[in-house]
A and B are shown apart, each in its own frame.
Chain A
Amino acid sequence: MSILRPSTIADRPNSDILKNCLMQVSDASFSYDGQHNIFENINFSVEKGDVFCILGPNGTGKTTLIKCINGLMKLSSGKILFNEKNIYSLNKTEIAKNIGYIPQIHNSTFPFSVLDVVLMGRSPHLEMFASPGEKDIKIAEESLKTLKITHMRDVSYTEISGGEQQLVFLARILTQKPSILLLDEPTSHLDFGNQMRTLNIIEKLAKNGLSILMSSHFPDQAFISANKVALMKGKSFIDIGSPEEVITKENMEEIYNIKVKIVDIEHRKACIPLKVNGE
């Protein structure tokens, strides 16, 4: 059974890919030591309004890939074009004006108020010596309103639940006003309800013209909110396309090594893991 099937990727027609293309990643590979690649031959593009979901088992390099895209790490080879400009030719401020990022893990130290945290999203738009003014506070408050968390404005962000914290970070990223959001497992610490609510917010943001690139451990989440899915296994994308094309019984069983069943439920498909006797 071969893992790499580039033919399936090439077969699918990518109509007017350059027209709305916001970000294009080509031949991307990364290694820490110059010998062993964490990932290689990664090719994909994100268009305006896309929700692009990367699925894959633990340790395949999803987080590393996302960190390369936002400029925290540098690709060993390959190119990332953002609005047809090489991302490594942009400085940190320019990247931050265009690309918002929520890390998988956040370690808090000081009990800042929710508003203070959300205001930090203004930092790429402010000069070195400046601090946010009334205009910035207004933008931050609009973000709070968008996510319906205005009531938490003056609460310390260390004293709220993980789900609420995720909303605060989403509010911060909106305050940053980027055109693409990178979300590294945005639902990983959230309960069942908050997972759904976050996905709904993601979908809503995409409908309003933002592009979203997220990684996830749940194939179902791709069915719910994504319009493009890539499967990452063994350093590379093994398949890429619409959720219905990519999240198949064969693909899921291959990357996760479990038995699954793809079922049709109201208006969408769902991927359900099966319990196999004797395993």
Chain B
Amino acid sequence: MTKLRFRNSSQDANINDSNASKSWINNSLVKKLSVTSLLVIPLIILFFISFLIGRYPISPSEVLMALAAKTTLVNYNIPPSVEAVIFQIRLPRIMAAMMVGAALSIAGASFQGMFKNPLVSPDKLGVSAGAGFGAALAILFVAGPFMVQFSAFMGGLLAVGLTYMISQTFKGTSMLTLVLCGIAIAALFSAFISMIKYVADPYEQLPTIVFWLMGSLSAVTNQDILMVTLPMVVGSGILLLIRWRINVLSMGEDEAQTLGVDTKKLHIIIITCCTIVTAAAVSISGIIGWIGLVIPHITRMIVGPDHKVLLPASIFMGAFFLLLIDDVARTITTVEIPLGILTAIIGAPFFLYLLAKSKEGWS
């Protein structure tokens, strides 16, 4: 291996410089890290506030005592009704909102990096349409909530699996082919959903299907949360481990390959993880759009494009935003607004605002 000789000479000449720049690195790293930790604080505050929201009044001290009792095994004599509301109704819902928001956001940020396109959302390869089809099918056959969730999860995996396999049979297996296959598969599964809606019983099944597709967290139980925790943690964990490689991948496939990245392997890992994470989220929440597209954007504006920081920051931002929107959804009117509607009503104008304001050249 060749080493550049004049590197060494320049090193000697600039010892003072390198000390100065070293402290600079630490500063910039500290800065990046502290921005990420700043995103955690509002999330923690909102987490506690969210327990107070709802028709059954609960005081902040009751929330703190109940949580402390659960974690430290100290008994604070909390009324059983309060405990039931906190742990059986509000906690699963808060956890679900945070987990779904985080999952959609990390998947969106990873996909945007992989496709080197900031306009990509995690359902680009058909995961949402597939999950919707799985859920609708289960509802049609009068399955229980667990089966609906499981069927949605499998439907999501199936759709993306099909997209990937079909794209591999084409000659030019570029990212564009993959996206086009995803669009086709999503259209196909949407048609299947319509078909199921058409044959479904219009008084019982049809409304259930329609409400499921609009997205809601109102029926989430602690058991649902436990079910999706494993796929979400594993998928997000792997994405976090390879997050620096997504930087290299976002320079383009050819360039990444000449930088020693096995792009095909990395694509498969990212697609698999994003799909598992998204399918798990959709299986408990129904279809919630916009989060996976808008949150990575907002986060990128705050912490910059480096995926090393962007991915963890997206998790916190996504969790915060969906929790906020879900709080709005369950308080703004007496009848709950489906989450999918709210995220679009808030997300779409905000996205347009970002586009208008953005100085970054995307071309």
For residue B266, give the distance in angstroms from its CB to the closest CB of chain A: 8
Given A111-B360, A131-B308, A145-B14, A209 and B260 contact (CB-CB distance below 8 Å): no
Q: Which residues of A contact B6 (CB under 8 A)?
A: 146, 204, 208
Given A106-B255, A116-B247, A142 and B2 contact (CB-CB distance below 8 Å): no
- Closest residue of chain A to B265, judged by CB? A128
B72 at the interface (CB under 8 A from A): no
B245 at the interface (CB under 8 A from A): yes
Q: Which residues of B contact A177 (CB under 8 A)?
A: 1-3
Q: Which residues of B contact A91 (CB under 8 A)?
A: 262
CB contact list, A32-78 vs B, under 8 A: 48, 67, 70-72
B226 at the interface (CB under 8 A from A): no
B90 at the interface (CB under 8 A from A): no
Q: How far does the alpha carbon of A146 sit from the alpha carbon of B14 in the complex, in Å? A: 12
For residue B11, give the distance in angstroms from its CB to the closest CB of chain A: 7
For residue B16, give the distance in angstroms from its CB to the closest CB of chain A: 13
Given A101-B258, A176-B259, A210 and B18 contact (CB-CB distance below 8 Å): no
Interface mask (A130-172 → B, CB under 8 Å = 1, otherwise 0)? 1110100110011001100010011000100000000000000
CB contact list, B295-354 vs A, under 8 A: 300, 304-306, 308
Q: How far does the alpha carbon of A178 sit from the alpha carbon of B258 in the complex, in Å? A: 11
**Cβ contact within 8 Å between B248 and A111:** no
**Cβ contact within 8 Å between A96 and B305:** no
Q: Report the contact-size class of chain B (Cβ under 8 Å from the partner).
A: 35 or more
B117 at the interface (CB under 8 A from A): yes
- What are 15 A-B residue pairs whose CB atoms fall within 8 Å in the complex? A72-B254, A109-B117, A111-B304, A111-B305, A113-B304, A123-B259, A131-B244, A132-B244, A138-B18, A142-B10, A145-B7, A145-B14, A146-B6, A205-B4, A209-B5
**Cβ contact within 8 Å between A209 and B2:** yes
**Cβ contact within 8 Å between A121 and B1:** no
A residues whose Cβ falls under 8 Å from a Cβ of B: 48, 67, 70-72, 91-93, 95-101, 103, 106-113, 116-117, 120-121, 123-124, 126, 128-132, 134, 137-138, 141-142, 145-146, 150, 153-154, 158, 174, 176-179, 204-205, 208-210
**Cβ contact within 8 Å between B258 and A70:** yes
B residues whose Cβ falls under 8 Å from a Cβ of A: 1-7, 10-11, 14, 17-18, 21, 25, 28, 113, 116-118, 241-245, 247-248, 250-252, 254-255, 257-262, 300, 304-306, 308, 360-363
- Closest residue of chain A to B241, judged by CB? A129
Given A103-B254, A106-B252, A120-B248, A179 and B2 contact (CB-CB distance below 8 Å): yes
Q: Which residues of B contact A126 (CB under 8 A)?
A: 244
Q: How far does the alpha carbon of A124 sit from the alpha carbon of B305 in the complex, in Å? A: 21
**Cβ contact within 8 Å between B306 and A210:** no
- Closest residue of chain A to B307, judged by CB? A110
Contacts across chains A and B counted by CB atoms under 8 Å: 126
Contact of A96 among B28, B251, B258, B361 (CB under 8 A): B258
The 3 lowest CB-CB distance pairs between A and B, nearest first, are A124-B260, A96-B260, A131-B244
Q: How far does the alpha carbon of A142 sit from the alpha carbon of B18 in the complex, in Å? A: 9
**Cβ contact within 8 Å between B10 and A208:** no
Given A112-B305, A128-B242, A142-B7, A121 and B259 contact (CB-CB distance below 8 Å): yes
**Cβ contact within 8 Å between A129 and B250:** no
Q: Which residues of B contact A138 (CB under 8 A)?
A: 18
**Cβ contact within 8 Å between A110 and B11:** no
Q: How far does the alpha carbon of A113 sit from the alpha carbon of B303 in the complex, in Å? A: 12
Contact of A129 among B10, B242, B261 (CB under 8 A): B242
Q: Which residues of A contact B260 (CB under 8 A)?
A: 92-93, 95-97, 123-124
Further pairs besides A101-B255, A112-B305, A174-B4: 11, Cβ < 8 Å: A92-B262, A93-B262, A97-B1, A100-B258, A103-B254, A106-B251, A109-B250, A131-B308, A142-B7, A146-B4, A209-B2
**Cβ contact within 8 Å between B257 and A72:** yes
For residue A118, give the distance in angstroms from its CB to the closest CB of chain B: 12
Contact of A103 among B117, B255, B306 (CB under 8 A): B255
Given A110-B305, A131-B243, A120 and B361 contact (CB-CB distance below 8 Å): no
**Cβ contact within 8 Å between A208 and B5:** yes
Given A72-B258, A92-B260, A146 and B10 contact (CB-CB distance below 8 Å): yes
Q: How far does the alpha carbon of A245 sit from the alpha carbon of B259 in the complex, in Å? A: 36
Given A109-B116, A131-B308, A145-B14, A179 and B1 contact (CB-CB distance below 8 Å): yes
Of the listed residues A103, A110, A154, the one surrounded by the most CB atoms of chain B closer than 10 A to its CB is: A110
For residue B22, give the distance in angstroms from its CB to the closest CB of chain A: 8
**Cβ contact within 8 Å between B4 and A208:** yes
Q: How far does the alpha carbon of A101 sit from the alpha carbon of B259 in the complex, in Å? A: 8
Given A106-B252, A141-B21, A145-B14, A120 and B4 contact (CB-CB distance below 8 Å): no
**Cβ contact within 8 Å between A141 and B306:** no
For residue B319, give the distance in angstroms from its CB to the closest CB of chain A: 23
Q: Which residues of B contact A110 (CB under 8 A)?
A: 113, 116, 118, 250, 300, 305
Q: Which residues of A contact B362 (CB under 8 A)?
A: 109
Q: Which residues of A contact B1 (CB under 8 A)?
A: 97-98, 177, 179
**Cβ contact within 8 Å between A137 and B25:** yes
For residue B116, give the distance in angstroms from its CB to the closest CB of chain A: 4
**Cβ contact within 8 Å between B259 and A120:** yes
**Cβ contact within 8 Å between B241 and A71:** no
Q: How far does the alpha carbon of A108 sit from the alpha carbon of B116 in the complex, in Å? A: 9
- Closest residue of chain A to B5, judged by CB? A208
Q: How far does the alpha carbon of A102 sit from the alpha carbon of B306 in the complex, in Å? A: 21
Q: How far does the alpha carbon of A97 sit from the alpha carbon of B259 in the complex, in Å? A: 8
Contact of B248 among A48, A100, A106, A123 (CB under 8 A): A123
Q: How far does the alpha carbon of A67 sit from the alpha carbon of B300 in the complex, in Å? A: 33
**Cβ contact within 8 Å between B4 and A128:** no
For residue A274, give the distance in angstroms from its CB to the closest CB of chain B: 38
